[in-house]
Amino acid sequence: MPFATAQDGTDIYYKDWGSGQPVVFSHGWPLNADAWDAQLQFMADNGFRAIAHDRRGGGRSGQTWDGNDLDTYADDLAAVIEKLDLHDVILVGHSTGGGEVTRYIGRHGTGRVAKAVLLGAIPPLMLKTEANPEGLPIEVFDQIRAGVANDRSQFYQDLSESFYGANREGSTVTQGIRDQFWLWSMTVGIKGAYDCVKAFSETDLTEDLKKFDVPTLIVHGDDDQIVPIVAAGAKSSKIVKDVTYKVYPGAPHGLAMVPVFADVFNKDLLEFARG
């Protein structure tokens, strides 16, 4: 299998489909690169080179005890980009992956980057603080940690409901979509999954967003029950300079995997990539 080697020697698995301008995808918690398969195929079918990696701690990448933080995730992304010697890259990040993309730009700049896409992404900060009253209280993240620590299999099954908006009237989310969420999540080691909760909830990415100097597309569903739009897309869109901000009415957090919303997102992504 194809691997890049991280700074600490960890193997980072990636898939690399098609040819053309590279589009590199970073996935959300607690999933793996397979969550992007529909977009990888779509972009490769449309003349792009589509790449996605498994975040350390899960999938086919190494499961490390340390390094489950956004600085290291960003450096792992850099290792993939540098291993493949990619230039003119379009970075696409969903949820925690959006934080990974944001911290990558904050730490590594945009020398290899042409554009960025943040989808239902965690920046600037998920945690409620005095300076960030729109965020979620720490108790929400403590409950997530408890779910992972005590019965992660059932927790992931339950989480798939709000992740995809299956609890909303008129939802077309199938059991298959929910089952794949559980399957991907269970490939992530408990240590990496647990530590990542702190990484995605308590990392302030405001200063990283200020370093964006490439065209950026921010997409967020206004019915996102995991990363509420008011503390995320709505705020990030006011910090990033060259931004196109799109709100999808009624869309859940995992909109890229729900066909009715994925079709719209794929179209917007392709239009942005070609623009």
- The domain of 136 spans 3-274
**Would you state the structure tokens that stand for residue 7, as one six-digit string?**
């700074």
Where on the phi/psi map is residue 28: left (φ > 0), alpha (ψ -120 to 50), or beta?
A: beta
pLDDT digits (tens, 9 = 90+) for 119-142: 999 999 999 999 999 999 999 999
Residue 103: pLDDT above 90?
yes
> What is the average per-residue pLDDT within 5-10?
98
Angle at which helices 138-164 and 175-185 pack, to 10 degrees?
140
* Spatial contact of 125 and 206, defined as CB atoms under 8 Å apart: yes
pLDDT digits (tens, 9 = 90+) for 50-81: 999 999 999 999 999 999 999 999 999 999 99
**23 near 273, Cβ under 8 Å?**
yes
Please report the pLDDT score of residue 83 as a whole number: 98
Confidence of residue 89 (pLDDT cuts 50, 70, 90): very high
Whether 1 shows a pLDDT value over 90: the answer reads: no
The end-to-end CA distance of the chain, in Å, is 33
Number of H helices, E strands in the chain: 9, 8
Which residues are known to be catalytic?
A: 95, 224, 253
The position carrying tokens 């350390």 is: 56
pLDDT tens digits, 228-242:
999 999 999 999 999
Q: What is the pLDDT at residue 93?
A: 99
Cα–Cα distance between 187 and 195 in angstroms, integer? 15
pTM, full prediction: 0.98
Q: What is the pLDDT of residues 138-159, one digit of tens each?
A: 999 999 999 999 999 999 999 9
pLDDT value, residue 187: 98
Q: Which amino acid is present at 252?
A: P
CATH number at residue 190: 3.40.50.1820
Average pLDDT over residues 158-168: 98
| Distance separating alpha carbons of residues 178 and 108, to the nearest angstrom | 35
Mean pLDDT of all residues in 188-203: 98
- Mean pLDDT across the chain: 98
CA dihedral 260, 215, 135, 155 (to 10 degrees): 40
Q: How many CB atoms lie within 10 A of CB 120?
A: 29
Question: For the chain, what is the domain count?
Answer: 1
